[in-house]
Copies of this chain bind each other. A is one copy, B any other.
Amino acid sequence: MTPADGPFRVGLLGHGTVGGAFAALLAERAEMVGAIVGRPPELVGPLTRSRGAYEEILERSDVVVELIGGTDPAREYILRALRAGRHVVTANKQLLSQHGAELYAAARENGVSLRFEAAVAGVVPVVRVLQETLAVTHVERIHGIVNGTTNYILTEMARTGASYQEALSQAQRLGYAEAEPSEDVNGKDAAAKMAILANLAFGAPVRLDQVPYEGIEHLTPDDMEYAGELGLELKLLGTAERVQGGISVRVHPVFLYPGHPLASVLGPFNAVTIESPTITEVTLSGPGAGGPQTASAVLGDVVSAMVGPPLVLDEPAIQLPVVTEVVSAFYLRLEVADRPGVLAQVAQVLGLQGISVKSVVQKGLGDQARLVMVVHPVAESRFFAAMELIGGLDFMRSAPRAIRVIEEEFL
């Protein structure tokens, strides 16, 4: 570490898109950073695959910025930095969602800050708002669009009628999707971020492997068309909420009613809605990714780590179990043979499972016949059991298709 009257030193691990943008931004904003911290910043490193030695960078740093990504060696590097009494800033959502408890404990035990605004929703300051503004607020639920790639793809599908594959290719051409997009489109990236947010909001440890997720790869232009007809928006939504007996964290496509604060979030943007009885709801939105945006969030954390008190997550006071059984309303589409008694049989199966139908429309004739239904909120296990049964009925022309619906509560 440096003497208190010299510059403060920022050890940089990683020099990819975000690492490079961070180094550039630190240089560009050096004067402003120095004015706030009271000492000018000085970059140490970066550590790359071919250059720099971790031990040396650690030795010379006051705060370590980890932008390598992945769990190994990032986990080891961060733990050693915290144990050596260094503040750490990271954007590593996969690491935090898998080994968060260990890292938060190391920060706590060593009285240093572990900050990670850039790990969730880019420059959207949801981590700070949960940790500081709402630190003493009882948060009931968080809804998030926390993956810009999928939100861009869904926006394009809705806007142009493109297929999933076409919209993905477009996203890749424009740099909104990686060449290897699977963790974005299958929902895993969003699940990692929701695990981190749940941890912050409820003070309960949630790991990525406890978060069920579903992606957008199977969505079709038909789904978009129905969304349009129903006046709904189709989004990949993360949910973290208190439920009877614990908490539930999950990610899946949902139809959102148009007045919902997340329904109007378009393109590669991210947004998070935090609900609490005291505050009703607060929504934060902005660009979800991009090197300069993420670097800006990292730099904000570096300054806060230097001037703030150590910011640590408390040891979980209560163990809130992660509950997998939750209640949802569903949109349901059945491709059926066009003959008498079909609706009666479907209604009977639903009724036996205690599923209450809110609306039903028959569409098309003959080979095009379809039942489109919306059912009232029901335990998901019951609903999927009913889907299983309906899927086995002899008049079904293909597997039933179900998408969750979040309906307006105040109608």
Interface residues in chain A, defined as those with a beta carbon under 8 Å from any beta carbon in chain B: 25, 29, 32-33, 35-36, 117, 123-125, 128-129, 132-137, 259, 261, 264, 266, 271, 278-287, 290, 292-293, 295-297, 299-300, 303-304, 307-309, 314, 317
Q: Is the CB of A286 within 8 A of B280?
A: yes
Q: Is the CB of B125 within 8 A of A129?
A: yes
Q: Is the CB of A300 within 8 A of B132?
A: yes
Q: How many subunits of this chain does the assembly comprise?
A: 2
Which has the most chain B C-beta neighbours within 10 Å: A35, A282, A307?
A: A282
Which has the most chain B C-beta neighbours within 10 Å: A32, A297, A303?
A: A32
Q: Is the interface of A mostly helix, strand, loop or mixed?
A: mixed
CB neighbours of A293 from chain B (8 A): 278-280
- Cβ distance A382 to chain B, nearest Cβ, rounded Å: 35
Chain B minimum-CB-distance residue to A310: B307
Q: Measured between alpha carbons, how far is A133 from B300 in the docked complex, in Å?
A: 5
Known: A125-B129, A128-B133. 5 other contacts (CB 8 A): A125-B133, A134-B300, A135-B303, A136-B303, A281-B286
Q: Measured between alpha carbons, how far is A282 from B295 in the docked complex, in Å?
A: 15
CB neighbours of A281 from chain B (8 A): 286-287
CB neighbours of A271 from chain B (8 A): 283
- Cβ distance A353 to chain B, nearest Cβ, rounded Å: 37
Q: Is the CB of A125 within 8 A of B282?
A: yes
- Cβ distance A305 to chain B, nearest Cβ, rounded Å: 11
Contacts A280-B286, A308-B309 given; does A32 touch B292 at CB 8 Å: no
The 8 Å CB contact of A136, one of B33, B123, B124, B133, is B33
- Cβ distance A144 to chain B, nearest Cβ, rounded Å: 14
| In the A-B complex, the 7 residue pairs with the closest CB atoms | A282-B286, A125-B133, A264-B264, A123-B279, A280-B287, A32-B136, A283-B285
